[in-house]
Amino acid sequence: MATEIHYANVGLKSIDLNTGEVYNRGQGGRTIKECLNFTTEHRVLEDADIPNSSGFPTVKDYLEAEGGDGFGLIHMDQYTIVTQKTT
């Protein structure tokens, strides 16, 4: 039996309410007026080793995707989500 564990990090991300896009602070070039249209959400941070983390999914969307791939939830707190799949 093989066990695969995904240890995903969760962080607060700024979301543009008009477009739904996740704002990357490294982008720059936003006006104060544009930033007033942001909200903040807990999102799963992208990790190249975890395919379901692509695109900063919501925690709910990430857990649904992991469950669809046969992973079960092992641990979750405000910073991390740990899922496991045994084959």
pLDDT in tens, 12-62: 888 888 888 888 776 677 777 877 888 888 999 999 999 999 999 999 999
In the chain, the amino acid numbered 33 is K
| SS3 at position 29 | coil
Given this model, what pLDDT does residue 6 score? 96
Q: Helix H segments across the chain?
A: 32-35, 59-68
pLDDT > 90? residue 10: yes
Residues in Cβ contact with 36 at an 8 Å cutoff, skipping those fewer than 6 apart: none
Torsion angle in degrees (nearest 10) through CA of 21, 48, 11, 80:
140
